[in-house]
Structure 1
Amino acid sequence: MSGSVRTEPLHGETPLLAPSGSYSVVVLLRGYAEPLGAGDAVRADGTVTLVLPRGWASDSSRRSTPSADGGTKTALEEAVRGPILVDTGGPWARDALLESLATQGVAPGDVTLVVGTHGHSDHIGNLGLFPEAALLVSHDFCLPGGLYLPHGLCETQPLRLGSGLQVWATPGHGGQRDVSVVVEGTSLGTVVVAGDVFERLGDEDSWQALSEDPVAQQRSRERILSVADVVVPGHGAPFRVVREAAKSSEDQICEGKEVA
């Protein structure tokens, strides 16, 4: 039985750190969007999130470059054996990104996959820091050196990268090829790194003006809210999703409510 969904701040998690048996989620840089003075000028940068495989430790002797020899599926499996970066922020955030990675014991050469949720400069402005990583930017998947591989990602078919780790097609904000990363089974439940499908908590009255396809984005938002326990938005703090089951007629009668 369906019920209502609400969102609320996620308290006590700064920065967000959500470990799991397979992958842990760490928000490295929190995105922001700040209006400046008169007119429509906005100073902004996108959120950067790190997804770490369980038990990973920096060890260059174990570092291997994903290969196309076994096809796309094998290349994706190899790409998620090391640290995964979801978005990179803008080029002006280069030093802050490197410092935040270092605090997690990750060097740029350790990163094996970078997922760009969409092609805006404040989300993929530091791709050049990771020439040895596989790249999944929007729906384009390529290996180091620019070898592009086909895949079947679409709204009805996610890319399953590992146990409890998926990439979803979530179109709308930047057009038809936006993606989100879904990490299941963390200490906070299912965490969805959503890019700009959600700008921030409480963006209900503003996201449409920034959307290339509001109809598709509304569909993506509803889909994410149906599964997420925590959403990492593109320009704000992570927030919690609370789903409340609809009350049955019997429950309402017991509470003294009149049922039509």
Structure 2
Amino acid sequence: MNRVILVVTGLLNRDGNQIVEAHSSATLILSGNAAILVDTSSIERRAELLNNLEEIGILPSQVDVVVLTHMHHDHIGNLELFPEARKLARVEEGDFDGIEQITNDMELIPGVTLMHTPGHTEGSMSVVVDSGDATYVITGDAIPTKDNHDRWIPPGINIDPELALSSMKCICQIGNIVIPGHGEPFTSCDER
């Protein structure tokens, strides 16, 4: 059985249309002996990340895989804390030292699938987790906030708004709980 734990709740503050503060969510997936961290949040959230992992009983050295939804600084700020972990990002995000490039959707472990959800960036990737009683989608900035979902608007920063909306629709059709890039988990509406 896969367990999903929000370790750091992301934050996105705006002043009008300008982002003034952004820290991503960091989400832990526990499955058997595997510990998978999706995004590492920003460096400003380092102490919170480490403290919350410790409360769960996980040391950075015990994280087996770090999945990066995309390579923006607010999602990868603490990557250096996990030198022993396998690190994964989509090939479209670029060639980064020590990061394995993913070219196709793939099942990482039973019940945990990496899914290409472009729009925010060309290589945006979401993680679909079957927990037995729910299907979670950890979206990174494919759905950055609940407000994007509720108002059905693409991320403010995007490479293609129509592609972003298409990815949002796919996410909502697959999962019933969304963990956005910035904010608390919420129940998705698949009637788009």
TM-score (norm 2): 0.88
Aligned partners of 1:123 and 1:236: how far apart in 2? Answer: 13
Distance 1:34 1:85, change over 3 A: same
**Which residue in the other structure is 2:146 paired with?**
201
Mapping of residues 244-255 of structure 1, within 5 Å: none
- The answer to whether the 8 Å contact 1:139/1:178 transfers is no
d(CA) in 2 for partners of 1:181, 1:198: 12
SS at match of 1:211: coil
Q: Does 1:183 align with 2:129?
A: yes
Name the residue aligned to 2:164. 217
Q: Deviations over 1:144-182 (max 9, x none)?
A: x83x656541xxxx2111211100011010x21110000
What does residue 137 of structure 2 align with? 192
2:116 paired residue number: 169
CA drift at 1:202? 2.4
Q: 1:140 Cα deviation (Å)?
A: 7.7
- Other-structure match for 2:78: 126
In structure 2, what residue type is equivalent to 1:46? S
Matching residue of 1:72: none
Residue of structure 2 in register with 1:236 after alignment? 183
Query: What displacement does 1:113 show?
Result: 0.4
Partner SS, residue 236 of structure 1: coil
Task: Extract unaligned runs of 5+ from structure 1.
Answer: 1-20, 57-81, 245-260
> Unpaired runs of 5+ in structure 2?
none
Structure number with the higher strand fraction is 2
Say which one has the larger Rg: 1
In structure 1, the residue matched to 2:6 is 27
How many residue pairs align between the two structures?
186
The 3-state SS of whatever aligns with 1:119 is coil
1:89 to partner: Cα distance:
0.5
Q: Structure 1 pair 211/150, CA: closer, same or farther in 2 (3 Å)?
A: closer
Partner amino acid for 2:129? V
Contact kept, 8 Å, 1:139 with 1:179, in 2: the verdict is no
The Cα of 1:186 is off from its aligned counterpart by: 3.4
Q: Percentage identity across aligned positions?
A: 34
Name the structure, 1 or 2, with higher relative contact order (CA <8 Å, separation 6+).
1
Closer, same or farther: CA 166–114 of 1 in aligned 2, 3 Å = same
User: 1:177-228: per-residue Cα shift (whole Å, max 9, x none)?
Assistant: 11000001433x1100000111111223653432122121111111111111
